[in-house]
C-alpha cells in the first residue's frame, strides 16, 4: 500500500528506461488499485506488465469494496497476486477462498502469481513442508497448471531483513517442484517458482543461483527504480 499517482508516474519514468533492453525476463508491477488505470496507460509502450495485488472471485454483484477479475482484465492487468502472506495473516484468507480466486482469475485469462509460505513458528516446529504441501494442494485443487506461477515467500523473511539462505531457498523450491510434479506430472518442470523474502540488490545474485528459483517476488526493494532495475538485471 504505497505511492500516490504522481509518485507512481515518477517511478515508472525512472524505472522503464533502465530495463527497456531486458528481453530474457518477464517484468511485472503490482500497484494498488488506485494506480492501475494510470499505470496501464503509462506501460503500454514498455516491456513491463501490470498485475493486481488481489481480487474477489465473483465477476460482479453486491460485494462492496471488492474488485473482480473482469475489472482487472478490463483495465489491462495480465497478472494477479493471490494468497499473499499478508492476505492470509492479516485478512484471514483461507486456502479454500484462495482456490476460488485462482479459478476465477484463470477463467478471465489472468496469469496467477500464487503465494505460499510458512511462518516462523511453523518453520521452528518443523512443519514447513506440511504447510507448503497443504497450501499447494488446497489452493490448486482442480486447477489446471497453465497460467500459474508459484511464489514461495517464507513469512519470517518478509520485511524483516532476514533472508533464507540459498540452501533453505533451494530446499523449499525443490520441495514445491516435487509436489507440483505429483499434481501435474512433467508439466511441473515448466512452471515458474519465484522466491519472495527480503529480496534486495545485494542478495539477488545468490538467490537466483539456486537451481529451482526462477524469479523473485520483490517487496520493499522494488520501491526505488535503481534497486529494482538491479534485481531485474541479476547476474547468475
DSSP E strands, the chain: 27-29, 48-52, 79-82, 111-116, 148-152, 193-195, 215-216
> Of 93, 111, 122, 153, which one is the catalytic site residue?
153
d(CA 47, CA 138): 33
C-alpha gyration radius of the chain: 17
- Say how far apart CA 120 and CA 215 lie, in whole Å: 23
Tell me how crowded residue 126 is: count the other CB atoms within 10 A of its CB. 8
Active-site residue, from 84, 93, 122, 173:
84
230 contacts 203 by C-beta, under 8 angstroms? no
Is residue 100 packed enough to be buried (19+ CB in 10 Å), middle (13-18) or exposed (0-12)?
middle
Grid cell, residue 116, equals 505460499
Q: Which residue matches cell numbers 539462505?
A: 165
| CA proximity to 103, closest of 152, 139, 130, 74 | 139
Known active-site residue 153: yes
Residue 86 falls in the annotated catalytic set: no
Catalytic positions are 84, 153
Amino acid at each position: 500500500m504505497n505511492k500516490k499517482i504522481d509518485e507512481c508516474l515518477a517511478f515508472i519514468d525512472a524505472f522503464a528506461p533502465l530495463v527497456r533492453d531486458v528481453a530474457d525476463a518477464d517484468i511485472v508491477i503490482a500497484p494498488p488499485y488506485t494506480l492501475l488505470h494510470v499505470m496501464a496507460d503509462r506501460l503500454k509502450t514498455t516491456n513491463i506488465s501490470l498485475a493486481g495485488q488481489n481480487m474477489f472471485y465473483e465477476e460482479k454483484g453486491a460485494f462492496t469494496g471488492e474488485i473482480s477479475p473482469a475489472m482487472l482484465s478490463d483495465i489491462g492487468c495480465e497478472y494477479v497476486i493471490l494468497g499473499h502472506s499478508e492476505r492470509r495473516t492479516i485478512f484471514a484468507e483461507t486456502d479454500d477462498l484462495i482456490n476460488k480466486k485462482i479459478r476465477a482469475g484463470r477463467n478471465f485469462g489472468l496469469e496467477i502469481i500464487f503465494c505460499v509460505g510458512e511462518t516462523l513458528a511453523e518453520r521452528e516446529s518443523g512443519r514447513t513442508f506440511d504447510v507448503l504441501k497443504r497450501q499447494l494442494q488446497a489452493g490448486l485443487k482442480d486447477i489446471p497448471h497453465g497460467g500459474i506461477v508459484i511464489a514461495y515467500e517464507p513469512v519470517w523473511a518478509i520485511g524483516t531483513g532476514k533472508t533464507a539462505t540459498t540452501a533453505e531457498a533451494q530446499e523449499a523450491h525443490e520441495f514445491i517442484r516435487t509436489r507440483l510434479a505429483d499434481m501435474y506430472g512433467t508439466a511441473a518442470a515448466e512452471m515458474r517458482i519465484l522466491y519472495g523474502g527480503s529480496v534486495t540488490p545485494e542478495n539477488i545474485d545468490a538467490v537466483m543461483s539456486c537451481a529451482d528459483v526462477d524469479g523473485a517476488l520483490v517487496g520493499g526493494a522494488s520501491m526505488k527504480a535503481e534497486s529494482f532495475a538491479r534485481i531485474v538485471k541479476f547476474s547468475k
